[in-house]
A and B are shown apart, each in its own frame.
Chain A
Amino acid sequence: MSERASIPKRDPEEVPERENGIEEVTTGSQSVIAALEQAGVEHAFGVQGGAIMPVYDALYDSSINHITMAHEQGAAHAADAYGIVTGEPGLAMATSGPGATNLVTGIADAAMDSDPLIALTGQVATDFVGNDAFQETDTTGITMPITKQNYFADHSDTVGDDVSEAFALAEKGRQGPTLVDLPKDITKGETDQWPNPPKTPETHDEPVEADESAVEAAVTALEDAERPLILSGGGVVKSEASEELRSFAHEQEIPVITTMPGLGTFPETDDLSLGMAGMHGTGAANMAVTNCDVLLGVGTRFDDRLTGGVDTFAPDADIIHVEIDPAEISKNIEADYPLVGDAKRVLEQIDDAMTDAPEADQWREQCQIWTEEYPLTYETPDDEPLKPQYVVETFDELADDDAIVTTGVGQHQMWAAQFWTYEYPRTWVSSNGLGTMGYGVPSAIGAKIGAPDTEVVAFDGDGSFLMTIQELSVAVRENLDITYVVLNNEAIGMVRQWQDGFYEGRRMASEYPWVPEFDKLAEAFGARGFRLEEPEDVEETIQAAREYDGPAVIDAIIDPAENVFPMVPSGGDNGLFALNEQHLEMI
């Protein structure tokens, strides 16, 4: 466990003071950077290349701190995570062609989770566009379905405004990724045009307040409810509505469940919290959502991982749907009371309109019974071999209360969602909607850059870790204090779990008996590596990794037989969740 000599720790005193930003605009590139500075961008994640080089050249004089990533996918995920933890759009930069296509996964990921992200891509000079020139791709064409809006910059005088507008669109209304494609002649071209401040176009609707009469009607339904329930989604994070949600739930004494992106919007330590609902949600949350009579869904798009089969989702409930994006209303689940507006403001409106709290003593008692009947547990025969849930639980006990958790995608992601107790918004950073393996390593980097004083813990699977492991080099170079925990089951475990459950155990291409030793690999990158096999070493190893000032990787060799429960099979009935393999056969 030696530190690598070739990578000296950076002494903050030695880093030269940066100049304070662009002073003069003479080229399109300078206008681009001026637009970013004007919008308040502090960090950029990217990879250099021919077509984007003029923009990078202008960045040389900028106050913006650029973090060179190992792969553009890493840049996009890091920027995405930065956007989640700060609420400000993260910035990802790439060159044309392969640089741009490497960004695509990260942009799609941000789109699915409505994360604010700006992608700047280089493009071949306009004379060459359409000629299949070297490193040309139709980037705006490719990213059209996965961006909120994209721009092909066609003039040096207006390129700065394109960037300003992209910035405004990424963060206003329903957040999401935007992209500006920057042909080399446009960025090199002369201009003295300072960009205008960020502003969304007139055709972009940003609803704030819900219609008053609609609020009245919804409130009446809620007041009359016998089995009321609040479902808190990712929109509550985005609109900073967590405080309003908490006080409203307490005042009206309504139990709360969350979606996966909504983790942290309501403290899981609260008596009214029933935890996360959906495919791997808690028994209590899924019983409650199935049996409620009024469901107040806030900032959620009723994703199928949450609803299971729509025919059995909250089948007795009147749905009150608070959503900033009108197109989400009745897309998957019909809303009886649509309330279009910003979650924070609409919750205030609802709160103001409520006169009587619903009478739901019996219902709350019932929810309490479910919580006791269906706790999140795992079997621990002597704790051998090492249980992943135990690792997550122990880490949670040792970590700071406001620590940020990032994840890859798979079983480990679900254990991190289930066995860590979330109390604050912006502490859960995960690929919820797209489910992108490889999200873990770079997202932890983006999270740490966005929240340098907060503890960052990344849970990863061996499969997911291998997909973006190269970004460890960035964590080392930037000396980021991140603790990576690889829950290593030598398999792409979630796939194997499904094969065992639904494909008669035919484990086609899901076992990885050839994974490298991640602790050693970490050392090769210049990080600190730990190997964890024995349950009695868990606490000590985690503490050692936490205390190490820089990126540390714990290769936790876990019980390969462990599976994620409870589970609602895909398209199934949330109320019929399985607690174990035998239940799966019953439903």
Chain B
Amino acid sequence: MPGPAPDQRMRPEGRRNTQGIRIDPEAEATHEPRMAVLSALVKHEPGVLSEVSSLFSRRQFNIESLTVGPTQDGDTARMTIVIEEPEPGVQQAKKQLRKLIPVIDVEELESAAMRRELALIKVAGDRPGDVQAVAEMYGGDAVDASKDAVTVEITGSKQKIDAAIEAFEQFDVLEIVRTGAAALERGSKTMDSTTMESDN
């Protein structure tokens, strides 16, 4: 005698959301994405950047920006990766990053961390004085000027650069290049290359 058909079978009450998290059956379903700044200390060797970037793309993490450069110690480099993910995704990104062999440590920086990005903005050169005035408002500088164009450098938070770019739109913007964020924790806290913290 075969047991009950599908619709007659014993069933539990519970439910999970699409992220596999058990939830109140009546309540809201998914976590909203949030912005997270990950800082990774990695071995300064060929292929690391492509390993990290290919990890992020194949796992479908939403990257806002990724920057990399050497540290005070020539053997290591520091990457700053800004991602926008719902909570399980942020944790997953950290854990996947930690798994890569050339990765020494990964931390999520607090929201108060120092975040800086740099932009070079090239605008038409017919109103150089006005351009310089706007640049100064944002603590920037004209770093190149020719008959036809002025290039301005701005450093600061993403919001500040967004605002500056908006302000420059009154001129004829020819080209913009931005670096993406580099970030460090405030205060004396540093990332230690000897400890591999691993949270779950």
Q: Does A82 contact B (CB under 8 A)?
A: no
Residues from chain B with a CB closer than 8 A to the CB of A327 are 92, 95-96, 98-99
Tell me the count of chain B residues lying within 8 A, CB to CB, of chain A: 42
Q: Does A149 contact B (CB under 8 A)?
A: yes
Smallest beta-carbon distance B11→chain A, Å: 6
In the bound complex, what is the Cα–Cα distance between A565 and B33 (angstroms)?
40
Q: Name the segment of B17-25, B111-119, B122-130, B178-186 touching the other chain.
A: B17-25
Contact B9 A576, beta carbon cutoff 8 Å: yes
Residues from chain B with a CB closer than 8 A to the CB of A578 are 6
Contact A203 B9, beta carbon cutoff 8 Å: no
In the bound complex, what is the Cα–Cα distance between A587 and B55 (angstroms)?
37
Q: Does B196 contact A (CB under 8 A)?
A: yes
Q: Does B13 contact A (CB under 8 A)?
A: yes
Of all chain A residues, which has the CB nearest B196? A205
Contact B22 A334, beta carbon cutoff 8 Å: yes
Query: Given A204-B101, A334-B19, A334-B21, are A144 and B10 also a contact pair (CB < 8 Å)?
Result: no
In the bound complex, what is the Cα–Cα distance between A204 and B19 (angstroms)?
28
Smallest beta-carbon distance B193→chain A, Å: 10
Q: In the complex, which of the residues A141, A315, A579 contacts B15, with contact meaning CB atoms closer than 8 Å?
A: A315
Q: In the complex, which of the residues A283, A311, A315, A338 contacts B12, with contact meaning CB atoms closer than 8 Å?
A: A315
Q: Does A435 contact B (CB under 8 A)?
A: no
In the bound complex, what is the Cα–Cα distance between A576 and B101 (angstroms)?
42
Residues from chain B with a CB closer than 8 A to the CB of A144 are 50-51, 54
Of all chain A residues, which has the CB nearest B51? A144
Q: Does A291 contact B (CB under 8 A)?
A: yes
Residues from chain A with a CB closer than 8 A to the CB of B21 are 334
Contact A586 B96, beta carbon cutoff 8 Å: no
Contact A331 B103, beta carbon cutoff 8 Å: no
Q: Does A290 contact B (CB under 8 A)?
A: yes
Residues from chain A with a CB closer than 8 A to the CB of B88 are 330-331, 334
Q: Does A326 contact B (CB under 8 A)?
A: yes
In the bound complex, what is the Cα–Cα distance between A338 and B199 (angstroms)?
10
Q: Does B3 contact A (CB under 8 A)?
A: yes
Q: Does A333 contact B (CB under 8 A)?
A: yes
In the bound complex, what is the Cα–Cα distance between A211 and B6 (angstroms)?
41
Smallest beta-carbon distance B158→chain A, Å: 29
Query: Given A145-B58, A340-B200, are A316 and B17 also a contact pair (CB < 8 Å)?
Result: no
Query: Given A205-B196, A283-B3, A287-B10, are A332 and B20 also a contact pair (CB < 8 Å)?
Result: yes
Residues from chain B with a CB closer than 8 A to the CB of A373 are 1-4
Q: Does B198 contact A (CB under 8 A)?
A: yes
Of all chain A residues, which has the CB nearest B14? A315
Q: Does B34 contact A (CB under 8 A)?
A: no
Contact B12 A313, beta carbon cutoff 8 Å: no
In the bound complex, what is the Cα–Cα distance between A109 and B87 (angstroms)?
30
Contact B3 A169, beta carbon cutoff 8 Å: no
Contact A302 B20, beta carbon cutoff 8 Å: yes
Q: In the complex, which of the residues A201, A315, A374 contacts B2, with contact meaning CB atoms closer than 8 Å?
A: A374
Contact B200 A326, beta carbon cutoff 8 Å: yes
Smallest beta-carbon distance A327→chain B, Å: 4
Contact B20 A325, beta carbon cutoff 8 Å: no
Contact A326 B5, beta carbon cutoff 8 Å: no
- Among B10, B58, B99, residue most surrounded by chain A Cβ atoms (within 10 Å): B99
Q: In the complex, which of the residues B6, B55, B104 contacts A583, with contact meaning CB atoms closer than 8 Å?
A: B6
- Among B4, B19, B88, B200, residue most surrounded by chain A Cβ atoms (within 10 Å): B200
Contact A316 B9, beta carbon cutoff 8 Å: no
Query: Given A145-B54, A325-B99, A330-B91, are A586 and B15 also a contact pair (CB < 8 Å)?
Result: no
Q: Does A329 contact B (CB under 8 A)?
A: yes
Residues from chain A with a CB closer than 8 A to the CB of B10 are 287, 291, 575
A-B contact pairs, 14 of them (CB 8 A): A140-B47, A203-B196, A207-B198, A311-B15, A313-B16, A317-B14, A326-B98, A326-B200, A330-B92, A334-B22, A335-B200, A373-B2, A579-B5, A587-B6
